[in-house]
Structure 1
Amino acid sequence: MHPGTIAIVLVAAVAHAIWNTVSKYKRGDTLVFVWAYTCAAALLCVPVGIIPVITGIQTLSWSLVVGSVVSAVLHVVYSLTLQTGYDRSDLGVVYPVARGTGPVLTMLFAIMVLGEQLTPIVIIGAVAVVVGIVVVAGNPFRGGQRRPLQGVSWGVITGAAIAGYTLWDNHSVTTLHLEPVTYFTGTFLLQGLMLTPRALRRRDQIPTVVRTNAAPILIIAVFSPLAYILVLTAMQTAPVALVAPLRESSIVVGSLLAWWLFGEGHLARRIIGAVVVLAGIAAISLG
């Protein structure tokens, strides 16, 4: 993988870790909060996403419409599945299992179905990234967890949703040749529309959630689309089987931020995991 592409994915990973860390400061209703930052992100993306249309780089075609609709549905399924997992089990189990399962399923599908050819050192590097993430996340079966097996199950289901939208979005930007910024702007707009009916049923909570979460909503609205648009851009020049696990290095950054900002423990294990992830990234770059 080209060093420039690796840099793009790593910047995306940092942006992803930032907005996930900020989301921990959320107060109030979760669905209204997600709807609010999704709508804010869509509004921020429109002025940028419309430029390729105006300049003729991206035409308003049925492929753009269909691509954005399917992507929006997959992302909404992912969001709702993830939230259900969080409601029924511990975040510390669901999140790392989901983020680890997603790239593994994506890589296997890309190799076995899409026929992507990877060198042995690149495969070892990708596996090392996933292993490092598992080390950073720790053992989901350790004592004190609420229903760990249930959390693992929801994590795997969420990981399948991650693999689904990753593979579809890769298809959209590589096979359908959709411009990433315009494509994801459409996806965000449709996600906001899909979540609006449920948000309006809780309209009495909207003013409070927006007022108490103004800063997190704005930060997530900037960094969430930035992170994924960079990933989509990387997919245009690199195999999805490599981009998928590499972007999950965000868990390392997020775990270190959690230790620094929230006082979460196991720093030594996190550092070891980070070193394994960095070794994997180095192997990918050599390939």
Structure 2
Amino acid sequence: MQPGTVGIVLIAAVAHAIWNLASKYKRGDTVLFVWAYTCASAVLFVPIGVVLVCTGAQPLDWRLAAGSVVSAALHLAYSLTLQAGYDRAELGVVYPIARGTGPVLTMLFAVLLLGERPGLVAMLGALGVVGGIVVVAGNPFGSGRRRPARGVRWGAATGATIAGYTLWDSFSITSLHLAPVSYYSGTLLLQSLILTPSALRRGGDICAAVRRNVAPVLTVAVFSPVAYILVLTAMQTAPVALVAPLRESSIVIGSLLAWRLFHEGHLARRLAGAAIVLVGIAAISV
């Protein structure tokens, strides 16, 4: 992978870590929070997508419509599966399993279904990134975990949805030749429309929820689309089998920031995992 492309994905990883940390400051209803930042993202980015369509940079045709519809469905499946897992099992089990299995499945299916053939060193580097992520996330089967098998199942299911939307988005960008900004703008618009009925059923809670979460909503609304649009841009020139694990380096960045900002423990383990990830990134860049 070219160093410039690696740089794009790493910038995306930083943006991803920032919006995930901002979401930790969320207060109140999760559905309303997700709906609020998705709508705000749509307000910010859909006009850009419209401009690209009007200028001819992105044709308004069946490819854009079909790609956005399927992507929105897959991204919502991921969000719902992740939330269901968090409701039914421990986050400390679901989260590392999901973030570890997601890129591994993506790499596997990219090779089997998309015919990608990254070099041996690059693939070893990608596996190294995944291994470093697992080290940073910690042992999901450690002492004090209740019913870890359930968490593993939900984590694996979430990882499968991550692989699903990643592979589809890669296909949309490389095979359907959709412009990243227009494509993801359509996805954001459809997600916000799908979530709106659930938000409206909460009635009077909407205004209060938005007022309590203005800063995190705006932060996520900006950094989340920027992060993923950069990833889509990288997919135009790099194998998704390498982009997928590389973007997950955001977990390392977020973990170190969480140690600094929220005084979370296990600094030595986090640094060890970060070192493994850096070695993997170096191998991918060769």
TM-score tier (shorter): over 0.9
Q: Distance in 2 between matches of 1:95 and 1:54?
A: 41
Q: Distance in 2 between matches of 1:21 and 1:146?
A: 26
Q: Distance in 2 between matches of 1:206 and 1:65?
A: 30
Question: Match for residue 142 of structure 1?
Answer: 142
Q: Is the 8 A contact 1:17 1:251 kept in 2?
A: yes
Question: Match for residue 100 of structure 1?
Answer: 100
Deviation of 1:92 (Å)? 2.2
Question: Match for residue 170 of structure 2?
Answer: 170
* 1:91 maps to 2:119: no
- Equivalent runs, 1:215-230 vs 2, <5 Å: 215-230=215-230
Deviation of 1:54 (Å)? 2.2
**SS of structure 1 residue aligned to 2:145:** coil
1:55 maps to amino acid = T
Question: Match for residue 279 of structure 1?
Answer: 279
Q: Distance in 2 between matches of 1:253 and 1:153?
A: 26
Q: Distance in 2 between matches of 1:151 and 1:205?
A: 31
Q: Distance in 1 between matches of 2:222 and 2:47?
A: 13
Q: Distance in 2 between matches of 1:16 and 1:281?
A: 17
Q: Deviations over 1:136-190 (max 9, x none)?
A: 0010011223432211211110000000000000000000000000000000000
Q: Distance in 1 between matches of 2:87 and 2:214?
A: 24
Question: Match for residue 129 of structure 1?
Answer: 129
Deviation of 1:220 (Å)? 0.1
Question: Match for residue 73 of structure 1?
Answer: 73
Q: Distance in 1 between matches of 2:19 and 2:148?
A: 26
Deviates more, 1:256-265 or 1:173-182: 256-265
* 1:244 maps to 2:244: yes
Q: Is the 8 A contact 1:246 1:281 kept in 2?
A: yes
Question: Match for residue 268 of structure 1?
Answer: 268
Question: Match for residue 120 of structure 1?
Answer: 120
Deviation of 1:115 (Å)? 1.4
TM-score by length of 1: 0.98
Question: Match for residue 9 of structure 1?
Answer: 9
Q: Distance in 2 between matches of 1:48 and 1:99?
A: 31
2:194 maps to amino acid = M
2:141 maps to amino acid = F
Superposition RMSD in Å = 0.9
- Equivalent runs, 1:15-30 vs 2, <5 Å: 15-30=15-30
| Structure 1 segments unaligned to the other structure (5+ residues) | none
Q: Deviations over 1:31-78 (max 9, x none)?
A: 111001000011010222222212211011011001000000000110
Q: Distance in 2 between matches of 1:199 and 1:145?
A: 33
Q: Is the 8 A contact 1:58 1:179 kept in 2?
A: yes
Q: Is the 8 A contact 1:96 1:251 kept in 2?
A: no
Q: Distance in 1 between matches of 2:23 and 2:97?
A: 19
Q: Distance in 1 between matches of 2:249 and 2:222?
A: 20
**SS of structure 1 residue aligned to 2:204:** helix
**SS of structure 1 residue aligned to 2:107:** helix
Identity fraction in percent: 70
1:202 maps to amino acid = R
Question: Match for residue 153 of structure 1?
Answer: 153
Q: Distance in 1 between matches of 2:192 and 2:47?
A: 17
Q: Distance in 1 between matches of 2:34 and 2:159?
A: 19
**SS of structure 2 residue aligned to 1:56:** coil
| Structure 2 segments unaligned to the other structure (5+ residues) | none
